Amino acid sequence: MNLILTIIRKELLDSLRDRKTLMSAIVIPAIAMPLLMLGIIALQKGLNDKEKNKTLKVALVNAPADFKKIIADPKITLIQNAALTAAKDSVASESFDALLAFPAQSTATDTSGQVALDFYFKSTNVMVSDRMKEKISLYKEALLADRFQKLQLPKDLLQPVKVNNQDLASTKEQLGVYLGGFLPYFFLLFCFIGCMYPAIDLFTGEKERGTLETLLTVPASRLQILIGKMATIALVGVVAACMTLGGMFVAMRVSTEIPAEVLKTVSDLLSIKFVLMLFAMLFPLSIFFAGILSAITMRASTFKEAQSYVTPLTFVIIVPAMIALMPGIKLSWATTWIPILNISLATKEIVAGTIIPLQYVAIVLSLILFAFLALLISVRQFSKEGNILK
Name the residues that contact other proteins, by CB under 8 A. 2-3, 6-7, 10, 13-14, 17-18, 209-211, 213-221, 385, 389
- CA 97 remoteness from chain centre: 33
Task: Select 283 or 382, whichever has its Cβ closest to other proteins.
Answer: 382
CB 227 to other proteins: min, Å:
14
Strands (E), the chain: 56-61, 76-79, 98-101, 118-121
Q: How many CB atoms lie within 10 A of CB 289?
A: 30
- Which CB sits closer to other proteins, 39 or 210? 210
Nearer to other proteins, 80 or 217 (CB): 217
The letter for the amino acid at 158 is L
d(CA 377, CA 187): 25
Smallest separation, CB 53 to other proteins (Å): 53
For residue 241, the minimal CB distance to other proteins (Å) is 24
346 membership: H or E segment, kind and range: helix 341-352
Residue with Cβ nearer other proteins (93 or 217):
217
- The stretches of 299-340 forming alpha helices (DSSP H) are 303-310, 313-323
Is residue 21 within 8 Å of residue 193, measured between CB atoms?
no
CA atoms within 13 A on the CB side of 30: 13
Closer residue to other proteins in complex, CB, 10/155: 10
Q: Find all residues with CB under 8 Å of 355, minimum gap 6, and list them.
A: 277, 331, 346, 349
CB 209 within 8 A of CB 164: no
Nearer to other proteins, 18 or 51 (CB): 18
DSSP 8-state class, residue 337? G
Q: Which is nearer to other proteins, 220 or 285 (CB)?
A: 220
One DSSP character per residue, 232-245 reads HHHHHHHHHHHHHH
Tell me the one-letter amino acid at 272: I
CB-nearer residue toward other proteins: 155 or 209: 209
Minimum CB distance to other proteins, residue 218 (Å): 4
In angstroms, give the least distance from the CB of 221 to other proteins: 6
CB of 212 to other proteins, least distance (A): 8
**What is the C-alpha separation between 100 and 192, in angstroms, rounded?**
53
| 367, amino acid identity | L
- In this structure, the dihedral spanned by the alpha carbons of residues 47, 53, 57 and 61, taken in order and rounded to 10 degrees, is 110
The distance of closest approach from Cβ of residue 26 to other proteins in the complex, given in angstroms and rounded to an integer, is 16
CB of 30: closest distance to other proteins in angstroms? 21
Closest contact distance (angstroms) between CB of 220 and other proteins is 6
- Cβ closest to other proteins, residue 219 vs residue 312: 219
Please choose, from the candidates 92, 94, 102, 97, the residue with its C-alpha nearest in 3D space to the C-alpha of residue 78. 97
